[in-house]
Structure 1
Amino acid sequence: MKKIIKKKSSRDYLLFVMGINTGFRIGELLDLKVTDVMDEEGAFRLFLDYENKQQPIYLNEQVRRALKLHFQQKTPISTDYLFQSSRGHAPITRQQAYRIINEAAKHVGVTEKVGTHTLRKTFGYHAYVKGIAISLIQKRFNQATPSDTLKYIGIDKTEQQKIDVNL
C-alpha cells in the first residue's frame, strides 16, 4: 500500500506513514499544521506536542523521511495544514482520507474493510507485537480497558502471541 500511495502523492504517503507510526486519530492528523512538525529553522521535530495527548508523540525516522519527501515536493508554509487540500487552504476531509486509504487497499487486493481507523489499529497492533505493554497502548488510545484495546487492534486474548523485543 505504501508504494501505491507514494507513487500517487507525497501528501497522501505522509498521511499513511504518520497514521501507522503515531497512532493518531484521523481528525488529529488532519488538524496538524506545518509548524507542528517543523521548527523555525526548518528542522523536523522529534516529538509532537498535541493538545489532547498526555505525552508528546515521537516522530520516528520513517515519519521524518516521509516529511522530507513531502517538503521536497511542496515548499512548506508554516501556517499551512500538513495535509492541505489542493482546493484551498483547508485540510483534506475525513472522507478524502478514507478514499485514499481505501483505494490503495483495493489496489493491492485487500478485501477486508479498510479505512482511516485501520492506520491507528495498525500502529497499536505492531506496538503490541513488538512488546509494548497493552496498558501503554490503551493509554495512548484513551480506551477504558486493556481488553477493549486488544479487541480494537485485533488480538485474541486466548491466542498465544509471539512478542519481538528488540532492545
Structure 2
Amino acid sequence: MNFVQPIRDIDKVIEVQSFLSNRNSRDELLFCFGIYTGLRISDILPVKKIDVFNKDVFFVTEIKTKRSRKKSRKYTTKKRIPIVPHLKKLIAIYCNDLDMDDYLFKSRQGRNRPITRVRAYDILREAAVACGLKEIGTHTLRKTFGYHIYQETKDVALLQDIFGHSAPYITLKYIGVNQDAIDRAYGKLDFRG
C-alpha cells in the first residue's frame, strides 16, 4: 500500500481544481467536495443531489470499526457536515441538469450509479500527473482538508474529533505534519563539522 500525502501548497490545490474544471465539472466537484468536507471517498461517492442541493449542511452515516484486543465490531455514527459557500456554489451550478435522486458523481455507465473508487482514483491521478504532484490518491482529499485546517488553527483535538482518531499523534501523522517535521530534521543533518 502506498502512503499518500496531502496537497500542502494552496497554489497546487488551485492548479488541480483548475485542471479538473477544464476537463469535467463532475470531476472538479469531486475534488472540491473532498477537500471542503474531509470525508472519505466511500462517504462521498454515495451522495445524491437531494442530500446537498440548496442546503447549508448535510448528514453522512459513517461505518466505523472499533478494534479491541479481543475482537472488532462495526458501528455507525451520524456526522453533520457544513457546506461552505464555495462548495455550495459549485453544487448549485453542477446540479442544474440532475434529478433530485441522481448521484452527484454519476457514472456514465448505467442509469444512475455513482463512479467507482477506482475511477475516482484515476481522476485524481490524472490531475496529479498533469500538475506535477506525487504520492496522491483518494485519501489525499481528506488529508488536504485536515492539513489546511491544522495550518489555520493548530487545533489537533478538533481534527482528531473530525476524523474520529483515537490519539493526536495519529491525526498529525495522517495529515502529514509529522512527516514535515521528520523531513526538516533530516535536512538539518550535517556531519562535516
Question: TM-score when scaled to structure 2?
Answer: 0.74
Per-residue CA deviation, residues 31-88 of structure 1 (Å, 9 max, x unaligned), is 10111002xxxxx21111112355411110121121123124xx12111111110112
**Structure 1 residue 142: deviation in Å?**
1.3
Alignment of 1:130-141 (within 5 A): 130-131=152-153, 133-141=155-163
Q: How does 1:16-165 map to 2 (within 5 A)?
A: 16-38=31-53, 44-52=54-62, 53-72=77-96, 75-88=97-110, 89-110=112-133, 112-131=134-153, 133-156=155-178, 159=181
One-letter code aligned to 2:33 = M
- C-alpha distance in structure 2 between counterparts of 1:138 and 1:76, whole Å: 35
Overall identity of the aligned pairs, in %: 38
- What RMSD, in angstroms, separates the aligned Cα atoms of the two structures? 1.6
Distance 2:29 2:180 in 1: 35
Question: Secondary structure of 2:101's partner?
Answer: coil
The 2-side partners of 1:59 and 1:34 are apart by: 13
Deviations 1:131-150 (A, max 9, x none): 05211211111111110000
Structure with a larger share of its residues in strand = 2
Higher Cα Rg, which structure: 2
Question: What is the alpha-carbon distance in structure 2 between the residues aligned to residue 107 and residue 66 of structure 1?
Answer: 22
Q: Which of 14, 19, 34 is the matching residue for 1:4?
A: 19
Gaps in structure 1 of 5+ consecutive residues: 39-43, 160-167
Q: 1:70 to 1:134 in 2, by over 3 A?
A: same
Q: Is the 8 A contact 2:165 2:171 kept in 1?
A: yes
- Does structure 1 conserve the Cα–Cα contact (< 8 Å) formed by 2:29 and 2:90? yes
**What is the aligned residue count?**
151
Mapped contact 2:49–2:95 kept (Cα < 8 A): no
TM-score (norm 1): 0.85
* 1:34–1:77 CA contact under 8 A, matched in 2: yes
